[in-house]
Amino acid sequence: MDLNADDPNNFTISQNENGTQLVCFKDSISSGSSLWLDNSLRTNVPIFALQLAFILALNRLFIALSKSSHVPRIVVNMFAGIIMGPSFLGKWEAYRKTIFPFHIMMPVETVAGLTLVYYVFLIGLEVDLKTLRRCRKKSIILAISGTIFTVPIGFGLYYLLLTNFGSNPMPPSHGTSHFHGAMLWGFTLSCSEFREIAYILSDLKLLLTENGQLALTASLINDLINWIFLPVAINEFCYDSVVTLVVTILIGFACWYIFHPGAEWILNKIGTRDKEFIETEVVFLLHLVLVFGLISDGLGAHSITGAYFLGLIIPKGMLSDTIQDKVLDFVADFMMPLFFAVIGQRMMIDDWPWITVIVVVMMAFIAKILSTSLVFFINRMPLKEGLTVGLLMNTKGIVSIIILNSARNKLELDSTAFGVMLLTCWLMTVPVGPVLASTKTFASSICLDRSQRRTMQGTRPDSPLRVLACVHTKRDGNVIVNLLKESCPSVKSPIQVIAVELIKMTKGWSHPAASSLIIKDAHKPTFSTKSSRSGSFKDDNNDNNDTLGSFDNLTQAIFVEKMRILSSYKSMHKDIFNLAKQRGVTLILTTIYKEPTYDGLGAGGYSYNEE
């Protein structure tokens, strides 16, 4: 590695008329045979390997330090990227020359851009547009009001920052116009990330609450709307081309009305919708991501547009689950820190008007809280709960980062506007988890009707017997239903049953099937824990796979309320116990569930005794 690569004799720095700094390297380029060209294995690859190792090591260190702070992963990724930027570690000359020299930034940015394309493709795989039709009216109003109210505030804060509250004249635009930058600020401020909110709620065991469900469904609506309009916003405001906007819309219509039905027809025709897909088919689709990104980029749209639309058109099922199982961890945990490191390299916080920045950050922070509180006030709901939901809706995610990064690439935002909004997104997300963990204000919305009875002898003749029925499979449901029928309930002495489907969840925590379950049962109490992708989710619209279908046709003396628990085996018993306490349950019914082992006896008994 050449430690003198950043020697001033090896490059020149100039500044053009719009204030952008240009770094030009003095390099000898030989044409002809590749024999006379530079060997990348000797020049670029060693430094890139060092950069990747340093980025991952620092990222994992911050993740380990923040493990018990209840903050989502994106907070740690952004913090690590900012620390590696020129405002902190970048001030150390040896670090700057060794880890992030000027001449090696292009390969890092290229790999980070490719990582973003694959990450957006995986996001498209998770988006299920059908869930929008199953949302409650209150959640829709909350999501729409949060967007309508915060976009004008972000628009105004952009001008207040650049003019230092009117004390300075408006600086010249580096891009097409300040209007585009202001709109991108407003759109960034209106975003709420479903993934991060789901992580916070599941980490704090707040998904059972009414307000937790309200915040989760509203954030899912907001997140889906953001991902739908993200390509349009980038192409309209960053590329400023009507042709590009039309091309993007045509690509979307072609993918949804031509390629999506075609993909479903192929999977149904050859009977591969629910089969195990081999690695060759997954690799083919990963290459197809690059093809779609290249086509959309060649047509004038952003490269992530094609990748996102490809993820949308792939039918949800075993194919999408297989792709995520094989690729998601590598892209999200191993490669995405590169993207955040590149974002951090673009952030300079030395010459900011700090008083103005503090005021802008505070006003941006309270924007969604005020809009959410206004919705709660109009609907005559407790204001304290509105403040808590508004705090949750402040959670930002990858959509906001993509908007800011694309705007900075096209010079729609200068370094100050880019850095201030990036810092604002980070500061708005940091306190959400710790504040909720310390106050537990969501608990005020739960009416804890705890049953003090330890036997059934002292019950009144007309009081219902509350039973929590835990079901793994449809066969378990039939067994418990037969037991309930044999209990001879009557109208005067009924049985109130809470039928819970226990779904084992594996690693990862954001899956379209899980979000579909939450939205589909939003009108009922739905409980989800630290979890994520289910190992064997079936199509929610298929009634034949309804595990709780046995509880539909019962006598009038048995009242049934159905819900699902998405949890791992290690914490499932705790979730059942908490649910039983909160619902005042007297009796818990479940079947013995054992995983088969080589000796045929089944697993579960020994681990239960250990607990």
CATH number of the domain to which 194 belongs: 1.20.1530.10
In the block, tokens 């990963």 appear at 286
For position 539, what pLDDT does the model report?
A: 41
One domain for residues 439 and 530: no
For position 157, what pLDDT does the model report?
A: 95
Instruction: Estimate the crossing angle of helix 336-345 against helix 40-65, to 10 degrees.
Output: 90
Q: Of 104-118, 300-314, 427-441, 451-465, give the lowest mean pLDDT range.
A: 451-465
For position 367, what pLDDT does the model report?
A: 93
Buried b (16+ CB within 10 A) or exposed e, 353-373: beebbeebbebbbbbbbbbbb
**Residue 429: domain span:** 77-444
Q: Does position 524 have pLDDT exceeding 60, yes or no?
A: no
Mean local confidence (pLDDT), 467-476: 86
One domain for residues 418 and 549: no
Domain assignment present for 362: yes
Domain assignment present for 519: yes
Domain assignment present for 102: yes
What token pair was written down for 540?
């929610």
One domain for residues 387 and 428: yes
Buried b (16+ CB within 10 A) or exposed e, 47-83: bbeebbebbbebbeebbeebeeebbbbbbbbbbbbbb
Domain assignment present for 3: no
481-504 confidence digits (pLDDT tens): 888 888 888 878 888 898 888 776
Mean pLDDT of the chain: 78
Contact between 96 and 90 (Cβ < 8 Å):
yes
Domain assignment present for 303: yes
Contact between 399 and 191 (Cβ < 8 Å):
yes
352-373 confidence digits (pLDDT tens): 889 999 999 999 999 999 999 9
Task: Extract long-range pairs of 377-385: CB within 8 Å, 24+ residues apart.
Answer: 379/138, 382/444, 382/445, 384/441, 384/444, 385/211, 385/441, 385/442, 385/444, 385/445
For position 345, what pLDDT does the model report?
A: 92
Percent of the chain with pLDDT over 90: 25
* pLDDT band with cut points at 50, 70 and 90 for residue 198: confident
For position 6, what pLDDT does the model report?
A: 52
Q: Does position 32 have pLDDT exceeding 80, yes or no?
A: no
Q: Does position 256 have pLDDT exceeding 90, yes or no?
A: no
CA 286 remoteness from chain centre: 21
For position 596, what pLDDT does the model report?
A: 52
Domain end among 395, 413, 444 = 444
Contact between 176 and 235 (Cβ < 8 Å):
no
* pLDDT band with cut points at 50, 70 and 90 for residue 96: confident
Mean local confidence (pLDDT), 104-123: 91
Q: Which of the pair, 337 or 24, is modelled with greater confidence?
A: 337
Percent of the chain with pLDDT over 70: 74
For position 502, what pLDDT does the model report?
A: 77
Domain assignment present for 6: no
In the block, tokens 């402040």 appear at 394
One domain for residues 434 and 472: no
Mean local confidence (pLDDT), 251-270: 79
One domain for residues 318 and 424: yes
Contact between 150 and 367 (Cβ < 8 Å):
yes
Domains held by the chain: number: 2
Q: Does position 560 have pLDDT exceeding 80, yes or no?
A: yes
One domain for residues 364 and 476: no
Domain end among 414, 444, 474 = 444
CA angle in degrees (0–180, nearest 5) for 455-460-465: 60
For position 530, what pLDDT does the model report?
A: 36
For position 305, what pLDDT does the model report?
A: 83
One domain for residues 435 and 477: no
Q: Of 24-33, 167-176, 592-601, give the lowest mean pLDDT range.
A: 592-601
280-296 confidence digits (pLDDT tens): 888 889 999 999 999 88
Domain end among 444, 478, 508 = 444
Q: Which CATH number does the domain housing residue 472 bear?
A: 3.40.50
* pLDDT band with cut points at 50, 70 and 90 for residue 59: very high
For position 133, what pLDDT does the model report?
A: 65
Q: Which of the pair, 83 or 228, is modelled with greater confidence?
A: 83
Q: Does position 543 have pLDDT exceeding 50, yes or no?
A: no
For position 526, what pLDDT does the model report?
A: 36
Q: Of 109-113, 441-445, 523-527, give the lowest mean pLDDT range.
A: 523-527
One domain for residues 237 and 386: yes
pTM of the predicted structure, to 2 decimals? 0.78
Q: Of 174-178, 203-207, 357-361, 396-400, give the lowest mean pLDDT range.
A: 174-178
One domain for residues 534 and 594: yes
Domain assignment present for 1: no
* pLDDT band with cut points at 50, 70 and 90 for residue 155: very high
* pLDDT band with cut points at 50, 70 and 90 for residue 459: low
One domain for residues 209 and 271: yes
For position 500, what pLDDT does the model report?
A: 87
One domain for residues 298 and 414: yes
Domain assignment present for 460: no
316-330 confidence digits (pLDDT tens): 777 887 888 889 889
One domain for residues 126 and 191: yes
* pLDDT band with cut points at 50, 70 and 90 for residue 26: low
